[in-house]
Amino acid sequence: MSMISAFYGSKSILITGATGFLGKVLMEKLFRTSPDLKVIYILVRPKAGQTPQQRVLQILNSKLFEKVKEVCPNVHKKIRAIYADLDQNDLAISKEDMQELLSYTNIIFHCAATVRFDDHLRHAMQLNVSATQQLLLMANQMTKLEAFVHISTAYANCNLKYIDEVIYSCPVEPKKIMDSMEWLDDSIIEDITPKLIGDRPNTYIYTKALAEMVVQKESGNLNMAIIRPSIVGATWQEPFPGWIDNINGPTGLIIAAGKGFLRALRATPMAVADLVPVDIVVNLTLAVGWYTAVQRPKSTLIYHCTSGNINPCNWGKMGHKHLMCIVPTSYLVGVTGPWMTKLMNRLLRTLSMLEYFINRSWDWSTYNTEMLMFELSPEDQKLFNFDVRHLNWMEYIENYVLGIKMYLLKEDMAKIPEAKQHFKKLRNIHYLFNTALFLIVWRLLIARSQIARNVWFFIVSFCYKFLSYFRASSTLNA
Ligand SMILES: CCCCCCCCCCCCCCCC(=O)SCCNC(=O)CCNC(=O)[C@H](O)C(C)(C)COP(=O)(O)OP(=O)(O)OC[C@H]1O[C@@H](n2cnc3c(N)ncnc32)[C@H](O)[C@@H]1OP(=O)(O)O
Ligand SMILES: NC(=O)C1=CN([C@@H]2O[C@H](COP(=O)(O)OP(=O)(O)OC[C@H]3O[C@@H](n4cnc5c(N)ncnc54)[C@H](OP(=O)(O)O)[C@@H]3O)[C@@H](O)[C@H]2O)C=CC1
């Protein structure tokens, strides 16, 4: 019997961000491997006209949960959607719900966050820092709490080249910034944001780093752990390969490349594309929850969930898989036209936000993650596999792209040959356009410059000589 499955089998678990990409896969795996668990409390806000309960039903009716329904037919009775809004100071949880959470929660997985790179600092502070603080406050009052797992990001300290599994501090204390958010108005906050975030690239990364400081300061006697994933991608294996349902990270660009809107991208081809499949992140998260509760390490352990140092893939390889050109210096979007200007402007804006991450490489230590792997029984090493050494990138990316088509774009897979044909057509138009452009420029140059004319005659006579030599030697051989 798996020790990890048995451990969660009797627990009441609280998940924030359960309606998000990572949260859904986490819930799915928990139910599939520990169908006997008591309850999963999820903090949900109403969205797009749906109540929290309706949102849960929609998630349970999705393809992702098909296997769960087989092993845990009463899954809908085991999810308790609790109305909450992490944008509110008290998280807007009712008194009764709060009482229930404080009395019964055994494990917390805190996944909720704003992952927008350009969020206003006030909002990013509220969601990523203040809500984390509030949750820690709640956790400190929970009588049955065994472990609190906080999801951070491997890029929280991307201002450093080598990143260890420790908490680094930011120059200004999170409390001071939280206090100042209460009285500064939006425009002043905007003015001081670049100074505050310093050498971190955006408010998301900055506030995730501050959240770690809050965890360090306010975790009290809790059994606490932090997980830092790099760029989280589609599932590798579980519950099936290629599952993805949002356009964050590389996914949006893969779509843009696949649809032919994006032909080239300014990236460092050899820079490491530090992707980790979401099922790997989830397996590590569950293993960490178990280890933290059972072994109770003396201090907060940080676990890097990265791939670059173990099984690296680079942006050049990824771009090649998408028939896209990763160029070090030019920044070119191939198919243009006035009717596409708006779309292109948005794409360029997105690219400018992601550029920072595709032109650099980082070195993350993974001592704690490796230590944990050895602590697992052979059965758990298989069932909760977070070893990326055996991941075949080309196969993974192929499934990722197919997954985008199937689960995100909901396209008809029977139309793949047609789509390939369309892609080929766009590529040919692109080549034709470039050739025509080259010929026009060249023609203009020849007309105006003696040097260009000399180069042209040299090339033509060289080609002629080469052809004559080739013809003569093939006649002799015959
Ligand atoms: C081919 C191989 C090479 C790939 C090479 C990729 C490198 C990829 C490195 C990632 C590195 C992460 C490293 C930190 C990893 C974490 O720790 S966290 C998770 C990552 N978080 C994210 O990825 C969030 C990034 N996204 C954002 O911050 C915002 O969407 C943006 C980029 C600032 C755009 O904001 P906005 O202009 O207000 O636009 P928004 O309303 O969000 O969307 C507008 C349009 O842009 C599109 N869009 C939004 N995001 C994207 C996107 N990522 N891509 C494309 N289109 C997008 C939407 O589809 C939308 O279209 P419509 O719905 O209007 O048709
Ligand atoms: N995706 C990635 O590449 C990486 C992600 N991470 C971290 O992993 C965690 C999960 O990310 P991911 O799943 O990708 O993100 P998503 O954007 O998919 O999910 C975010 C979750 O947070 C919830 N949330 C946001 N605002 C509120 C609010 N005001 N009240 C209640 N809930 C709210 C969302 O709920 P709702 O559905 O209502 O919007 C959603 O469930 C985050 O902490 C992120 O920093 C770390 C590294 C990489």
Residue 312 has pLDDT above 70, yes or no: yes
What the block records as the tokens of 291 is 């280890």
Give the residue, by CA position, lying nearest to ligand 2 atom 6.
153
| CATH number for the domain that contains residue 286 | 3.40.50.720
C-alpha 279/C-alpha 233 separation (Å) is: 9
**Which alpha helices (DSSP H) does 249-377 contain, by range?**
251-258, 278-295, 315-321, 341-358, 367-375
For residue 29, the Cα-to-chain-centroid distance in whole angstroms is 18
Instruction: State whether 172 and 214 are in the same domain.
Output: yes
Instruction: State whether 383 and 461 are in the same domain.
Output: no
Instruction: State whether 433 and 306 are in the same domain.
Output: no
For residue 201, the Cα-to-chain-centroid distance in whole angstroms is 16
Within a domain: 19: yes
Is the reported ipTM for this assembly greater than 0.95? no
Encode burial over 25-56: b for 16+ CB neighbours within 10 A, e otherwise: bbbbbbbbbbbebbbbbbbbbeeeeeebeebb
Ligand 2: does its nearest atom lie under 6 Å from the Cβ of 244?
Answer: no
What the block records as the tokens of 133 is 């603080």
Q: Name the residue range of residue 423's domain.
A: 419-477
Instruction: State whether 27 and 107 are in the same domain.
Output: yes
Q: Give me the residues paired with residue 53 across strands.
A: none
Instruction: State whether 61 and 166 are in the same domain.
Output: yes
Q: At 333, is the pLDDT very low, low, confident or very high (cuts 50, 70, 90)?
A: very low
Q: How far is the CA of 251 from the centre of ligand 1 (A)?
A: 8
Instruction: State whether 385 and 430 are in the same domain.
Output: no
Instruction: State whether 423 and 307 are in the same domain.
Output: no
Q: ∠ CA(306), CA(402), CA(285), 5° rounding? A: 30
Within a domain: 175: yes
Model confidence over 350-380: pLDDT tens digits?
Answer: 888 898 999 999 999 999 999 999 999 999 9
Instruction: State whether 192 and 296 are in the same domain.
Output: yes
Atom of ligand 1 nearest to the CA of 350: 32
What pLDDT, on a 0 to 100 scale, did the predictor assign at position 325?
A: 57
Over residues 412-425, mean pLDDT: 78
C-alpha 475/C-alpha 478 separation (Å) is: 5
Within a domain: 349: no
Instruction: State whether 430 and 379 are in the same domain.
Output: no
Number of separate domains in the chain: 2
Atom of ligand 1 nearest to the CA of 262: 1
Sequence-distant (6+) residues with CB within 8 A of 474 are none
Instruction: State whether 440 and 307 are in the same domain.
Output: no
Q: Which of 240, 257, 195, 184 is nearest to 403 (CA)?
A: 240
Ligand 2: does its nearest atom lie under 6 Å from the Cβ of 85?
Answer: yes
Instruction: State whether 472 and 367 are in the same domain.
Output: no
Within a domain: 164: yes
Q: At 338, is the pLDDT very low, low, confident or very high (cuts 50, 70, 90)?
A: low
Within a domain: 290: yes
Within a domain: 464: yes
Q: Which of 110, 143, 139, 146 is nearest to 7 (CA)?
A: 146
Q: How far is the CA of 247 from the centre of ligand 1 (A)?
A: 6
Question: Which among 375, 391, 407 is the end of a domain?
Answer: 391
Residues with CB under 6 A from ligand 1: 115-118, 153, 155, 231, 247-250, 252-254, 256-257, 318-319, 322, 324, 346, 349-350, 353-354, 357-358
Residue 171 has pLDDT above 70, yes or no: yes
Q: At 454, is the pLDDT very low, low, confident or very high (cuts 50, 70, 90)?
A: confident
Q: How far is the CA of 23 from the centre of ligand 2 (A)?
A: 8
Within a domain: 203: yes
Within a domain: 66: yes
Question: Which among 373, 391, 409 is the end of a domain?
Answer: 391
What the block records as the tokens of 55 is 């949102």
Instruction: State whether 371 and 469 are in the same domain.
Output: no
